[in-house]
Amino acid sequence: MKVTVDLDKCSDHGQCVFAAPDVFALNSRGELTFRDVAKGTYVSGELDEDLRDSIEEAIDVCPMQAIEIED
């Protein structure tokens, strides 16, 4: 399982960080840390299945519908 985040849609408000803190974080500028390593669409490495529930919660709470799971 991988997670993708459309950084063009993301508004950096951080709801995903509260839902899935093991996957999402904000940097010192208050931006999603994925912006430090990607532009456009961020694609994660392979993630542990144990994280699926929290990622699905992040998908549900993301106001911009920027997060998706790739199986």
Q: Which residues of the chain form contacts with ligand SF4 (CB under 6 A)?
A: 5, 10-16, 24, 32, 62-64, 66-67
Distance CA 56, CA 38 (A): 22
Q: What are phi and psi of 41, to 5 degrees?
A: -115, 125
Q: What is the smallest separation between the CB atom of 19 and ligand SF4, expressed in angstroms? A: 8
Q: Among the residues of 1-71, which ranges form H helices?
A: 15-19, 52-61
Question: Of 12 and 56, which CB lies nearer to ligand SF4 in the complex structure?
Answer: 12
Q: What is the smallest separation between the CB atom of 49 and ligand SF4, expressed in angstroms? A: 21
Q: What is the smallest separation between the CB atom of 15 and ligand SF4, expressed in angstroms? A: 4
